[in-house]
Amino acid sequence: VLHFGPADAAATVTPPTTHADLRPAVLLTASQSRDSVDLSGQWTYSKDLYRTGLNDINGWVAKSRMQRYRDIDIAAQEAKGGVEFFEFDLDRSAQMNIPGAWNAATPTLRYYDGLVWFQRKFNARKEQGKRAFLRFEAVNYRAYVYLNGKEIGRHEGGFTPFVLEVTDALRAGDNRLTVGVDSTHDAQTIPTPITDWDLYGGITRPVRLITTPATFIDDATVSLGQDGRITGAVQLQGAQAAGQLVKVAIGDLATASATTDANGRAVFALAAPGKLQRWSPDSPKLYDVRFSTATDAIRDRIGFRTIAVKGNEILLNGKPIFLRGISLHEEEFGSNPARNMTEQASRALLSEIKHGLNGNYVRLSHYPHSETTLRLADEIGLLVWSEIPVYWTVDWENPAVLHKALVMQAETIYRDRNRAAVVMWSVGNETPVSPARTAFHSAMADNVRALDPTRLVSAALLVERHKVNGEEVTEIQDPLADKLDVLAVNTYAGWYGGDTLDALPNLKWKLPTDRPLILSEFGADALAGYRNDGMKKFTEEYQAEYYRQTLALAEKLPTLRGLSPWILKDFQSPRREHPVFQNGWNRKGLMSETGVRKQAFGVLADYYNRKAGTK
């Protein structure tokens, strides 16, 4: 959990000395298998544009009559009369469904960007010898959490989970949980306010109250190594964490056991059983894996596969693979979407990729998507590129911002490293080359390798075009390339820039031959239904032809091993204000916001069908 104040972020946060320092204090891995109370449902809320409810930030301005987190029955106080009065009452405020971004909840909040207070009351038991935690899957962007009037923690970063212990703050009976959610972004946040998507504020993913034994399994990992061995580690927390026997069972295929060391950690290794079925998009086999001690147990559904790069090939389970993918934002279908990713919404999007496009791969851009989506990728069989929003502009020279990026990256890796689907961690998207920026990304790449040496490292780079001996050449001129296992580039020739579409296949590209390449983005806007108007920009025909020509160019790139064009569906973006074609939507989707397929959808699906047949 990061502690910060808006103005003093640089002063209070220092870069870590080791990668281990980045481990969140409590993880509760596989918490979906634990006893818990789901706090989804109706929460009350109160806007606080001037931030008067946070007295530590507003100093003398904030008054107790405005402190939204007070544990007080205001109606009862008012009934008694007297001199005290209040300028909020969360008990009687309007309600909103949580989880979910506030932007779609009511029209007045569609473009609200600031602080909103949420309250949820719940009943709890206090169980002797047990511990209690609140686990938030995501709050965008900053969270200030109070239980029964007492601050229990804060978190920065809109897409990663955090866990706060509430064993002592919890009451038997009624409890009042108050969460201040600040969606404001600035030059020191990740991302900064300059993006191409809607920043969606709120408690966007589930919140659960989880109980564990006094000593509990905090983390457990298991994976298949290149050497054919299954290795893993289990981390206990609590007074009795040392010297415990830990058992691991992989379906009914194999078991292992180990004893925890003085730090509560146990590692285990076994030869992969002959009958082990490897996970792949074609056969997304998951095993029920159970980790247990004498007093605690957790379960997860885990797939086993290897991923590697050899020369310019990407090898899944030792065999070359071509990544037939698409990029995806976290935003459900519909004319008034938000970031409300139910299992149904996520399944609808991933099914279009898997079955509609015959894809085997998805770029989850530009931030860690919901745990629901990651689990579905495992289940449906889609390889995943994962990234954090180190995007376009970042305060590269600021060590506090680098620290935030490394924490976010660690939170993502600890969350998802048991997901077989995740094969690549990206350390950036389209960031202009400079020494400070390259040092920042390099630190991120080193961090990823230290925290997870089993997966590939990439980044979405920009290409440069310039003349060599009178001939125009497209090249990667970025020292960050040296840090990456897989080169990835975003290319928009034929949309941005002055190229005509028929020129695209003849563009000369010069690329390193020793590494695989992915086109991490390419795309063109089209308004669904705008047809038959010549080859004009924003028509479906233009977008379809753009795809044909860009795919023809792709075919000429000898090291190309995958594609994730931009993007599956039109998405909300406040940058896009053309009153005829856009109206607040980025129109590069292969489908409209309501799921109507544009012509280009078929162009890409045909291409992937051919690729799948010839792989």
Contact positions vs ligand GCB (CB under 6 A): 196, 366, 429-430, 490, 521, 566, 586, 588
CA distance 582 to 580: 6
Q: Is 308 exposed, middle or buried (0-12, 13-18, 19+ CB in 10 A)?
A: middle
Question: Between residues 452 and 570, which has the closer beta carbon with respect to ligand GCB?
Answer: 570
- In the complex, least distance from residue 517 CB atom to ligand GCB, rounded to whole angstroms: 17
On the question of a cis peptide bond just before residue 191, with omega within 30 degrees of 0, the verdict is yes
Question: Between residues 327 and 409, which has the closer beta carbon with respect to ligand GCB?
Answer: 327
- In the complex, least distance from residue 226 CB atom to ligand GCB, rounded to whole angstroms: 32
Contact residues for 17 (Cβ-Cβ < 8 A; gap 6+): none
CA distance 458 to 461: 9
Question: Between residues 373 and 490, which has the closer beta carbon with respect to ligand GCB?
Answer: 490
CA distance 166 to 163: 10
Extract the tokens encoding 568.
């599956």
Question: Between residues 372 and 429, which has the closer beta carbon with respect to ligand GCB?
Answer: 429
Question: Between residues 68 and 587, which has the closer beta carbon with respect to ligand GCB?
Answer: 587
- In the complex, least distance from residue 585 CB atom to ligand GCB, rounded to whole angstroms: 11
Coil vs helix vs strand at 487: strand
Question: Between residues 205 and 588, which has the closer beta carbon with respect to ligand GCB?
Answer: 588
State whether the Cα torsion 52-56-57-62 is positive or negative. positive
- In the complex, least distance from residue 353 CB atom to ligand GCB, rounded to whole angstroms: 18
Q: Which helix H or strand E contains 259, and what residues bound it?
A: strand 254-259
Question: Between residues 220 and 527, which has the closer beta carbon with respect to ligand GCB?
Answer: 527
Extract the tokens encoding 500.
């005509």
Q: CA 477 → CA 59, 139, 193, 433, 488, distances in Å?
A: 49, 37, 27, 9, 12
Q: Which residues pair with 140 in a beta bridge?
A: 202
- In the complex, least distance from residue 573 CB atom to ligand GCB, rounded to whole angstroms: 7
- In the complex, least distance from residue 100 CB atom to ligand GCB, rounded to whole angstroms: 23
- In the complex, least distance from residue 462 CB atom to ligand GCB, rounded to whole angstroms: 8
Question: Between residues 150 and 578, which has the closer beta carbon with respect to ligand GCB?
Answer: 578
- In the complex, least distance from residue 103 CB atom to ligand GCB, rounded to whole angstroms: 18
Residue showing the smallest CB distance to ligand GCB in the complex:
196
Question: Between residues 137 and 521, which has the closer beta carbon with respect to ligand GCB?
Answer: 521
- In the complex, least distance from residue 392 CB atom to ligand GCB, rounded to whole angstroms: 8
CA distance 39 to 147: 13
Q: Are 483 and 516 in contact (CB under 8 A)?
A: no
Q: Which helix H or strand E contains 547, and what residues bound it?
A: helix 540-555
Match 């596969």 to its residue by tokens: 305
**Length, in residues, of the chain:** 615
